[in-house]
Every structure is written in structure tokens, then in C-alpha cells.
Amino acid sequence: MDPLIDRNVLFGNPERTQARISPDGRWISFLAPFEGVLNVWSAPADDVAAAKPITNDVGRGIQMHSWAWSSDRILYLQDLNGDENWHIFSVDPSARTVTDLTPIDGVMATWLGSSPRRPHHIVVGLNDRNAQLHDPTLVDIRTGERTTLLENPGFLAWTLDRDLNVRLGIQMTAEGSLVVCKITGDGFEPWFEVPPEDSLTTGPIGFNDDGLLYLLDSRERNTSVLKSADPDSNLFTVLAEDARADIHDIGCCPITGRVQYAVSTYAERQFQLIDDALQADLDVLHAYKSGDPEVVCRTADDQTWMVAWEVDGGHHYALYNRGQAPMALFSSRPNLGAEPLAERRAVIVPTRDGLEMVCYLTVPRWCGAKTENPLPMVLLVHGGPWARDQPGFSPIHQLLANRGYAVLSVNYRGSTGFGKDFVNASNYEWAGKMHDDLLDAVDWAVDQGVADRSKVAIIGGSYGGYATLVGLTFTPEVFACGVDIVGPSNILTLIESFPEYWKPALAIYELRVGSNATEEGRAALWKISPLSQVDAIVRPLLIGQGANDPRVTQIESDQIVTAMRARKIPVTYALFPDEGHGFQRPENKLAFYGLTEKFLAEHLGGRFQDGDTDGTSMEIR
């Protein structure tokens, strides 16, 4: 049996991560702790050791950053304690001065685009005029000057060209169709329509210098293919496709904007080269290190790339000057390489009605390839639900496997990436066939000799938290215990509390979950709400909630805890006053996972590391 892996190694701050190269190739940046909080650092590209912090966030840390095309500013997003009212900040690395480019309280800034053709500007969406609609706004990253490009008449999303002109807008009809419109000088005109069944798998990506649009398109087929489209001739051309999985990522030349490769993921990541000119570069990168290289970003002249490989649970970053050997920079979590990490492998699990679910299984390392005796198991349910579990390293898998559990992540129907048929099979199936899929995964693990049926826990966040509550209310005897993280307990109050900027897209929920506009619809939504079945709970439940969550508000956890305690049903409730939709501060993650470990050990019998609550805001209520 392996020694315990310290939680801090898995969930604490990385040593250095998210490496970026400036467009002029002179500088690199990355995120690293400064006085215990993730901040942006920069250094000369040839001297990483000279790096210095250029921001001084003292709260939840900075999670996303990038260089402006001018190479004299770094941009990052930050909200207030998880409220998702994002502000976009500009940092001058030489002066270490930070400018809030969107300094408007209560407004959510969305990133719309940047371009090497206009290196000192970006376009963002701002909902300060109308809380429900984001107006495309040109921002000077040096001065913060903002210019509204147009007032949003009702579009959900925008697509820019390489000159930062707004070229397309997307409307949603009452029936859930998307209408892609061309923006003209005096208004807009419809270009093409996306039926409701394709609305989650079809949409524009961006334009190249030739004026061609790139888009993902599942119309008249199952999986999303990559296409180019000529707005003048209306000619659509397929560039890449995968019969089993949607194209979900592309790489474009920074000089021309032309697409050069596409990526799809069924069980594992598949790379499709479109521009053969990159083949020699890929050969060099594959020879340098095993595994799939990820081109993180490139200089404006396309001569230097920042490349990452996933190695031993961390990301190994290297600079690649084309035609030369890559230059190693650093690993994000070098300490993980010394830990006893278990193998996480893809497995295909059938559903009772003939679908295939791509799942990911990890068992304790000391069990070998096949367990001799059934293990206590944790079923992990991803959020969304229109998202998916990806292949690769998972810290929660490693933590739980190290504590003695089998761990199974399930891509149930509704998960994205596997074609529109798999997504649409989940329509109106919350607490129905979507839950059956999770039960089928448990049955599979039991039949394979992996899981002890009497010792299966269910854990999830967001929709996964809802699935946990469904598991403990609709099928109360199946799971030994559950951990719900920011999960909705009442679909009616969930929809009623959505942020204003979600309301123009409510047709998605009416199409795929149900409508709260009629008494019949409200009754149906109440029927699939765990709160309606709270009397059925007989197994232990742990709930984690961020007080500032704008998506699944605190009322979702409060009301089911109140209902359980009124019925004298035990529940443990952990509230974080400085978090939102999930836990970002390392101190809070460490505290909650410590609480989870102890909870699972009590009810499943695994091992646990003593809790660490230093610096956490966690309140047990």
C-alpha cells in the first residue's frame, strides 16, 4: 500500500503554470504564488530565473492571463470572491502598474477578441447599458478608453474579423434555434439558421485574413465538423471531421489567421493536421518528449512557440524556436513526479438503452491492472451538464485512489463532444435517463468486480451536485453517501435566480430541461427537483456551497439543508463566504477536500489525511 499523498501537492498552488510568450518573442510570463497567492510574473525569454511578480492580488488569485499583441501589456480577468462580474485588467510589466479596463461595479465583462492588426486594442462585451445584453466595446489597453461599437439589439454572441470589426451576431429564437446574422452598416441580416437540435454543437469560431469564416457544424450529420464558409458565395467547405467525436479545438497561424490543425476527443485526444507546413515542427516536438504536445501560444511572426506536455500530473513547458531543439522552461508541479500516481484509463460503459459512455477509471496503484476484490468506489459526476470529463491527469482521481477507492468519472448522456445525438438524448431526462446512466455505470463497475455495491459514494459539482442529490433522493438505497458541491436542489428556484445575462438564452433550458412558464411545466420541474423528495434521504450527505455563486445561488443549498434538519435528517453543510461556483482559493480547496476525505473514510472505510483548515474561510453550519 502506498504512502498518503499530501493534499497540498495535488490541490495547493502550482509552482509555476500557464506559461506564455510575448508576441515579439522577448518576454515570457506565467502564474506563480506571490506571498501565497497566484499572481502574474514576467521574465526575459532567455532568463526565466530573472522573473519578478508584476501583480499583487491578495485574494483568490489570478487564474487566466495573456499577452496583448502590443507586447507591452499583459491582460487578465478577475472577479470579486466568485461573483463572476468579471473585470479585465491591463498590466504594464515594466512599470508594474495595473489598470482596470472595465471599472464598472456589477457589470460582467466578456472577452470578444484581439488581433495583431490592432495591437493596442481589444473588444469586450459589457452589459452596463442592459444587464441582459452585452454591447461590443472597443477598449484601448493603454488608456482604458472605451468606445461602444454598437448597441446590442438582442444577440447572444458576436464574431469579429481580424480588424476587430463586428461581423456576425447570434440570435436565439423562442423555439431554441440559433440565427447567425451578418452585421451590416445599417443593421443586420440573417445568414444561416441552426436548428435547436444542433444549437450546442454548431457555431462560428472566427475569420481569417481572406475573409473566410471558420465554424463548427453538426447540421445534417451527428458530430461537429470544422468548416470554412465564404460569406459572399455562401460556400461551406469541410476541413476536418471525426465520425466518433466533435471537433472542439483548432490552431491558426498568427500571421494569416488560417486554420492549421484541428482537435477532437473521443476517449483520447486526436490531432488532425490541415497545413502540412507544420509537419516538420510536430516531428521535432514529438521527438523531444513523449505525449501529445500542446501549442499554447505563438509569437506574431510565428517563429517561436510556447509548448506544453502533460507529464506526471503537471505541465512541462518549453520554448520552441522553429527549426531548433526546444528549450525546457519548467514544470507546473515538479513534486508530483515523486508521488505514487495511479493510472487513469478510459473505459466504455454501455447504457441500458444501447448508448456508449466514455468513462475514466482509476484504481489504487497497489491493486494492479485488475482488482482481486471489489473496492469501495466513488462515482464522479461532472457539471454542466453540457460539458464532459477529459482524458489525462485528474487530481481528485489521484487523491481518492490513493485513499483506497476505485474512482469512476462518467460521461453520461448530455455530455458534449460525442455528437449531437448523445447530447439530445438527454432532453427532458434530468432525474430520468441521465440518472439511469449513472446507475448503469455503478452496475458495470460491480459486474467488472471493481466496486463493492454496498460502498459506492456519489460526488459532483453543479449539475454533478444535482445528480448527487438525485441519487440520495430518487434512489436512496443505491449510494452509501454523497457529496454535493454547489448543486441545485430545486429546478424552479434555480431558473428563477439565473443571472440577468443568462435570460436571453432561457430557451435552451425550455428545450432541454423544461419550462417554468406554465403550471404544468412548473409541476414537471418540481417533480425532478431533489427538494421534492427530501423525505426519502436515508444516507449521509455533505454539501459545499460558495456564498457568492451567481449560477447556483446559496438558496439551493440552504433550502435542502433546512428541509433535512426540519425532518431531523443529518447533513453536514460547509459554506464559503469568499467563493462562488466552486472553490478557487487553495486554502478552501484543501479544507473542503480534507472534510470530504474524512466523510468518505467514515462511510466507505478508506484512508484519510488529517484535515488542514489554516487560512480557510469555511464555515460549518
Answer whether 73's CB lies under 8 Å from 90's CB.
yes
**β-pair type (213-217, 203-207):** antiparallel
DSSP 98-143: EEESS--TT---EEEEE-TTSTTEEEEEEEEEETTEEEEEEEETTT
Which of 70, 199, 332, 462 does the annotation list as catalytic? Answer: 462
Residue with cell 428541509: 563
Pick the closest to residue 125 from 86, 98, 89 (CA basis): 86
Residue type, 559: Q
- Work out the burial of residue 287: count CB atoms within 10 Å of its CB; fewer than 13 is exposed, 13-18 middle, 19 or more buried: exposed
Q: Smallest Cα–Cα separation from 297: which of 16, 14, 23?
A: 23
Question: Look-up: residue for cell 444587464?
Answer: 131
3-state secondary structure of 518: coil
Q: Is 581 a catalytic residue?
A: yes
DSSP-derived 3-state class of residue 600 = helix
- Which candidate in 87, 248, 581, 603 is catalytic? 581
Query: What is the SS3 string spanning 194-248?
Result: ECHHHCCCCEEEEECCCCCEEEEECCCCCCCEEEEECCCCCCEEEEECCCCCCEE
Q: What is the DSSP string of 442-509?
A: HHHHHHTT-EEEEEEEEEEETHHHHHHHHHHHHSTTT-SEEEEES--S-HHHHHHT--GGGGGGTHHH
With beta carbons less than 8 A apart as the criterion, state whether 75 and 90 touch. Answer: yes
Residue 549 among the catalytic residues: yes
Cβ atoms of 521 and 496 within 8 Å: the answer is: no
What nine digits make up the cell of 421? Answer: 445525438
Give me the catalytic one of 242, 246, 549, 578: 549
> What residues act catalytically?
462, 549, 581
